[in-house]
Structure 1
């Protein structure tokens, strides 16, 4: 009988010790906000959290890539807008220079401004990104990674923007050559020759404008792709964060309920233990 009593006492002490540990763990989970402290707490959840953590690290890199791509794409679009302004101004000047009312001095000023436009054009061609790389590279633009499967170039190749203009008289030309030809046309003293050459230049300038419209449209497609990839990355990141939280974070309401239940159980066990152990040997044999 003494042995049985001793065994029962040991069981009660063990039960109270276990309840105390569970209460301490619940309190820790509430205070830290984390239900997983070591992988052994939930091996399956811990393995999934490790996978999510790796994906989130990858997404951090992809997010930085896409932000850089957005900046380059925006800079390229602004540059293309400026180049388009150069071509628009070239057309205005060529029209003025071809006019019969333009004096030699007027035409000389127009020719000088047209040649200066080529300097502006060269400046756009030589633009660099904040990292010092060519905005319009001579080689194929760098493919920027925005996910495990998404690659995009944030800008166009230099030759695609400044060369390859399909001109009206056949073949291709460059933006610079078209502006130079316009300056040469306006500089001619013979009115008939000037008019003929200017009309050819105006047609080529219109072709250059159409060429730039196509380039700006292509740049807009790149920007849209980058924005879409960034939005998809944000959405995926939110899903991963939510899933990780469900696996890793403490369900405070449920844990508080469990804590209260464990505390009541411990109090009841302690009271029962105290009452039983107040009894003497005569109480048991009476």
Structure 2
């Protein structure tokens, strides 16, 4: 078969173009640290990487949800524990004031302390998170949880809805507890209004321990304290269980994050030693091809005469 000068010229041009493209591709791989620059480089690997990246994004979002939920529960639990402490002092005062040896002035002094405890209790019930959302008002996070009506009685201003947060592909967890549930859904009168009533009895000079009206108020106060403490302790216990579940779920998700990152890395990260060696070989080949091309391009028929 006869090889013409045009054939030699064209073959050398093609060879340089192919080698230049290979050198450029290897250089880009070395620059990015990735062995897959386009899907056609490794279709199966590309599909594997895309699937792992989707799974990674989902799992990382679950971890963020868990962290946010755990922080919210920690904050709510702190306030609920504070309410328990306040109620323990309220119980001490309600027992101490049911004493016939107390003077009118003594009962009035206890009434003042009870009022301060009530104010602190209301402040805790109306607690907000770091962005200003009410913690215990259900989904009505923009409303103050507890307010007062025209008669000065405490009323719940939120709703009874529960916020659900997704913690895995198939799991959701309730994110909040409402003041309606732990204050206004007990068999006894809610503790806030019951405390108002008991303070009024303590301040009434015509009433003293032993009087039927005083005794009734004292019994009602104890019942409200018992019911509310049971409700709040139940909420705290439930939160503790949820926190344990969240911790386990987060640990599992973090393992999946590491696994997916490993799969992505093993599939698309570059073997620098192998790529560098191949780059040097291709670069040397390109230089040789260029030198050959220069020599061939200068040849004419007169060189053979």
Q: TM-score range by the shorter chain?
A: 0.7 to 0.9
User: Structure 2: which 5+ runs fail to align?
Assistant: 139-158
CA RMSD in angstroms comes to 3.9
Task: Tell me, in whole angstroms, the C-alpha distance in 2 between the residues paired with 1:44 and 1:147.
Answer: 27
Task: Tell me, in whole angstroms, the C-alpha distance in 2 between the residues paired with 1:143 and 1:16.
Answer: 62
Report what 1:251 is aligned to.
271
Specify the SS of the correspondent of 1:34: coil
Task: Tell me, in whole angstroms, the C-alpha distance in 1 between the residues paired with 2:280 and 2:258.
Answer: 33
How far off its partner does 1:29 sit? Answer: 0.7
Report what 1:92 is aligned to.
92
Within the alignment, does 1:189 sit opposite 2:205 as a pair? no
Report what 2:73 is aligned to.
73
Task: Tell me, in whole angstroms, the C-alpha distance in 1 between the residues paired with 2:125 and 2:224.
Answer: 20
How far off its partner does 1:176 sit? Answer: 2.5
Asked whether the equivalents of residues 94 and 183 of structure 1 are also in contact (C-alpha less than 8 Å), the reply is: no
Within the alignment, does 1:226 sit opposite 2:246 as a pair? yes
1:162 to 159, 178, 183: 183
Matches within 5 A, 1:123-142: 123-136=123-136, 137=138, 138-142=159-163
How far off its partner does 1:277 sit? Answer: 11
Asked whether the equivalents of residues 155 and 219 of structure 1 are also in contact (C-alpha less than 8 Å), the reply is: no
How far off its partner does 1:31 sit? Answer: 1.6
Compared CA separation, residues 279 and 119, structure 1 to 2 (3 A): closer
More deviation in 20-29 or 8-17? 8-17
More deviation in 72-81 or 121-130? 121-130
Task: Tell me, in whole angstroms, the C-alpha distance in 2 between the residues paired with 1:227 and 1:179.
Answer: 38
The normalised TM-score by structure 1 is: 0.75
Asked whether the equivalents of residues 80 and 232 of structure 2 are also in contact (C-alpha less than 8 Å), the reply is: yes
Matches within 5 A, 1:1-286: 2-3=2-3, 14-15=14-15, 17-59=17-59, 61-136=61-136, 137=138, 138-165=159-186, 171-180=187-196, 183=199, 188-191=207-210, 198=218, 201-202=221-222, 205-263=225-283
Asked whether the equivalents of residues 188 and 227 of structure 2 are also in contact (C-alpha less than 8 Å), the reply is: no
Number of residues of Structure 1 aligned to a counterpart in Structure 2? 280
Choose between structure 1 and 2: higher helix proportion.
1
How far off its partner does 1:139 sit? Answer: 1.7
More deviation in 180-189 or 252-261? 180-189
Asked whether the equivalents of residues 62 and 166 of structure 2 are also in contact (C-alpha less than 8 Å), the reply is: yes
Task: Tell me, in whole angstroms, the C-alpha distance in 1 between the residues paired with 2:222 and 2:238.
Answer: 24
Listed one character per residue, the Cα deviations across residues 15-71 of structure 1 (whole Å, up to 9, x for unaligned) are 565344323322221122122222222222223333344444444544443343233
Compared CA separation, residues 205 and 159, structure 1 to 2 (3 A): same
Listed one character per residue, the Cα deviations across residues 162-214 of structure 1 (whole Å, up to 9, x for unaligned) are 1344xxxxx44433255456546756414476678646744653453333222
User: Structure 1: which 5+ runs fail to align?
Assistant: 166-170
Report what 1:168 is aligned to.
none
Compared CA separation, residues 206 and 38, structure 1 to 2 (3 A): same
How far off its partner does 1:108 sit? Answer: 1.0
Asked whether the equivalents of residues 30 and 272 of structure 2 are also in contact (C-alpha less than 8 Å), the reply is: yes
